[in-house]
Amino acid sequence: MKKQSSRVWKWRRAVAASEFSASTKHVLSKLSYFMDEDGGSCFPSIKDLCEATSLSKNPVRHHLELAAAAGWVSVLPIGSAG
Protein backbone atom coordinates (compact mmCIF):
# COMPACT_ATOMS: atom_id res chain seq x y z
CA MET A 1 0.00 0.00 0.00
CA LYS A 2 1.38 3.41 -1.00
CA LYS A 3 1.67 5.89 1.85
CA GLN A 4 -0.22 9.13 1.22
CA SER A 5 1.73 12.36 1.21
CA SER A 6 0.84 14.86 3.88
CA ARG A 7 -1.11 17.95 2.93
CA VAL A 8 1.97 20.03 3.76
CA TRP A 9 4.04 18.19 1.14
CA LYS A 10 1.18 18.40 -1.35
CA TRP A 11 1.05 22.16 -0.74
CA ARG A 12 4.81 22.50 -1.25
CA ARG A 13 4.68 20.52 -4.50
CA ALA A 14 1.71 22.58 -5.74
CA VAL A 15 3.57 25.81 -4.91
CA ALA A 16 6.65 24.56 -6.77
CA ALA A 17 4.56 23.66 -9.82
CA SER A 18 2.63 26.96 -9.78
CA GLU A 19 3.20 29.84 -12.16
CA PHE A 20 3.99 32.29 -9.36
CA SER A 21 7.28 34.19 -9.39
CA ALA A 22 10.19 32.77 -7.44
CA SER A 23 9.62 35.26 -4.61
CA THR A 24 5.94 34.43 -4.26
CA LYS A 25 6.79 30.72 -4.28
CA HIS A 26 9.35 31.40 -1.55
CA VAL A 27 6.78 33.13 0.67
CA LEU A 28 4.17 30.39 0.07
CA SER A 29 6.72 27.67 0.71
CA LYS A 30 7.75 29.26 4.00
CA LEU A 31 4.07 29.64 4.91
CA SER A 32 3.90 25.86 4.97
CA TYR A 33 6.40 25.80 7.84
CA PHE A 34 3.69 27.31 10.03
CA MET A 35 1.03 24.72 9.11
CA ASP A 36 0.08 22.02 11.55
CA GLU A 37 1.20 18.47 10.70
CA ASP A 38 -2.02 17.91 8.77
CA GLY A 39 -1.40 20.95 6.59
CA GLY A 40 -4.30 22.82 8.06
CA SER A 41 -4.72 26.51 8.60
CA CYS A 42 -1.86 28.54 9.89
CA PHE A 43 -1.69 32.04 11.25
CA PRO A 44 1.88 33.38 11.18
CA SER A 45 2.33 37.09 11.63
CA ILE A 46 3.88 39.22 8.91
CA LYS A 47 6.88 39.52 11.25
CA ASP A 48 7.16 35.71 11.40
CA LEU A 49 7.07 35.48 7.61
CA CYS A 50 9.62 38.28 7.29
CA GLU A 51 11.98 36.38 9.56
CA ALA A 52 11.37 33.08 7.74
CA THR A 53 11.86 34.56 4.26
CA SER A 54 14.45 37.27 4.97
CA LEU A 55 12.15 39.72 3.20
CA SER A 56 10.78 42.98 4.56
CA LYS A 57 7.10 43.66 5.32
CA ASN A 58 6.07 45.21 2.04
CA PRO A 59 7.34 42.37 -0.18
CA VAL A 60 5.82 39.73 2.11
CA ARG A 61 2.47 41.53 2.05
CA HIS A 62 2.67 41.94 -1.73
CA HIS A 63 3.30 38.22 -2.32
CA LEU A 64 0.51 37.25 0.09
CA GLU A 65 -1.83 39.62 -1.77
CA LEU A 66 -0.90 37.97 -5.09
CA ALA A 67 -1.56 34.54 -3.60
CA ALA A 68 -4.86 35.71 -2.10
CA ALA A 69 -5.98 37.19 -5.43
CA ALA A 70 -5.27 33.80 -7.04
CA GLY A 71 -7.30 32.01 -4.34
CA TRP A 72 -4.37 30.26 -2.69
CA VAL A 73 -4.64 31.92 0.73
CA SER A 74 -6.93 34.10 2.79
CA VAL A 75 -5.31 36.97 4.62
CA LEU A 76 -7.05 37.80 7.87
CA PRO A 77 -6.75 40.92 9.99
CA ILE A 78 -4.89 40.67 13.27
CA GLY A 79 -6.97 39.04 16.00
CA SER A 80 -9.45 37.33 13.69
CA ALA A 81 -7.73 33.92 13.66
CA GLY A 82 -9.50 31.43 15.85
Region 14-42: mean pLDDT is 93
Q: What is the pLDDT of residue 52?
A: 97
Rounded to two decimals, what is the model's pTM? 0.85
- Compute the mean pLDDT over every residue in the chain, rounded to the nearest whole number: 89
DSSP structure string for the chain? -PPPPPHHHHHHHHHHHSSS-HHHHHHHHHHGGGS-TT-------HHHHHHHHT--HHHHHHHHHHHHHTTS-----TT---
